[in-house]
Amino acid sequence: MFHKILIANRGEIALRIIRACKELGIKTVAVHSDVDSEALHVKLADESICIGPAVSAKSYLNMKAIISAAEVCDADAIHPGYGFLSENAEFAEICSNCGLTFIGPTAENMRLMGDKIRARQTVIAAGVPILPGTKEGVQSAEDAIKVAGEIGYPVIIKATAGGGGRGMKVVHSPASLPNAFAAARSEAQAGFGNPEVYIERFCERPRHVEIQIMADKHGNVIHLGERDCSIQRRHQKLIEEAPCPVLTPELRQKMGECAVAAAKSVNYSSVGTMEFLLDQQGNFYFMEMNTRVQVEHPVTEMVTGIDVIKEQIRSAAGLPLRFTQDDVKISGHSIECRVNAEDPERFTPFPGLIDGYHTPGGLGVRVDSAVYDQYKVLPHYDSMIAKLIVHAETREEAIQRMARALDEYIIEGIKTTIPFHQRIMANREFIEGNVDTGFLERLLP
């Protein structure tokens, strides 16, 4: 097992990793920007090192500074959390070359599954269903029109190296395709430094269902069931739950087996997530793989009782999985609300000083957050300040418990999305489980 882990992240995920490390008896090092000196992960880690100014490119994305910090404090591993450098293959290679263990998959895994076209080709070979689409990047609007005509409208244009909805355009007719194609390539170049795009058939009103996988370095791979992440705004998840309200045991098994097969086909080792679209007829299609721990991993922990972060660390240390597929049991229902420092109507960032803070409690309530009373929410980073998670025996009880917990959650001095979440918990369609990825677009003005 590791002696000391440097955490190359901030906020609630840095704190989450510190907690897992403490329970495993591992010392921790927090790195931070100069404006994060009073952050909770800095206060609770065994050591802390400032690695640069507020701007992420000069601190949390500064590979040289992070490696130097690890060498100075004699860490033997680096945990990247999610975001920042968590899916950066170059950083994983640099860690290895410097004698540091990158707590995550291999650089080759990240390159393969991070390239959407190569990932599609890989999962096809593993027997995983995908939507009809191109097997290579599309280079011109003329080619795009030809491909779309063969696939059938509507189609969606996606950035090969994309994520977060950037470089993604839905097209319903040949007339609108050239402009959409140019816009998608432009966004892809600006966002990822790679203009390449591909095209696939657009799945209308799908659910976004993902399978949590866990793998070790000995060839063992299991899945921990699914999460429904259909409540999204502009492709950004806001509410997640486990299990998916409409998945049958048979469909769960089939999706899980496909996720495991895809992971085994690339010799994957670490935790990761296979993301699928589930259509109205119960057909599922591979969308992409996230080669890191997900923001929404707590709902899986709540229904399985398995600590995803601990198992990720154990796997990186070369230890075998402690669980077989038969050991994984889904119990009850869990819901997570991402609480952002944003105007709940306009969803614009709302940084500032928190001058009153009270977290909800009671049976089945969990808050993952790194904020506290008199904490200043900074404008330099992501606006998510907390994850409120509940667990109950049934989905109906989980919704009621979440509504109660949201009522108790007090954050004063700034605006947050708590009122938005309260609205969703009272929404009849959500309560009945009648949602898809376009749910919020129809609900919000």
Q: Is the residue at 69 inside a domain?
A: yes
Confidence of residue 261 (pLDDT cuts 50, 70, 90): very high
How many structural domains does the chain have?
Answer: 3
Q: Is the residue at 122 inside a domain?
A: no
Residue 156 belongs to a domain with what CATH number? 3.30.1490.20
Q: What is the mean pLDDT of residues 348-368?
A: 98
Last residue of a domain, one of 103, 123, 146: 103
Could you give the residue numbers annotated as active site?
292
Pair (396, 302) in one structural domain? yes
Domain that holds residue 78: 4-103
Element (H, E) at 329: none
| Strand blocks (E) in 74-220 | 77-79, 101-102, 155-163, 166-171, 197-201, 207-215
Q: Is the residue at 220 inside a domain?
A: yes
CA distance 142 to 157: 14
Pair (183, 325) in one structural domain? no
In SS3 terms, 23-92 reads as: HHCCEEEEEEEHHHCCCHHHHHCCEEEEEECCCHHHCCCCHHHHHHHHHHCCCCEEECCCCCCCCCHHHH
pLDDT of 284 over the 80 cut: yes
pLDDT of 234 over the 80 cut: yes
Q: Is the residue at 323 inside a domain?
A: yes
pLDDT of 232 over the 80 cut: yes
Last residue of a domain, one of 201, 227, 256: 201
CA distance 396 to 328: 23
Residue 287 belongs to a domain with what CATH number? 3.30.470.20
**Percentage of the chain lying above the pLDDT 70 cut:** 100
CA distance 401 to 390: 7
Say if residue 53 is preceded by a cis peptide, omega within 30 of 0. no
Q: Is the residue at 338 inside a domain?
A: yes
Q: What is the mean pLDDT of residues 110-124?
A: 93
Q: What percentage of the chain's residues is helix, strand, coil (to nearest 5)? A: 35, 30, 35
Pair (177, 281) in one structural domain? no
Q: Provide CB contacts within 8 A for 77, sequence distance 6+.
A: 2, 4, 5, 6, 100, 101, 102, 103, 313, 316, 317
pLDDT, tens digit, 9 for 90 and up, residues 41-84: 999 999 999 999 999 999 999 999 999 999 999 999 999 999 99
CA distance 38 to 48: 11
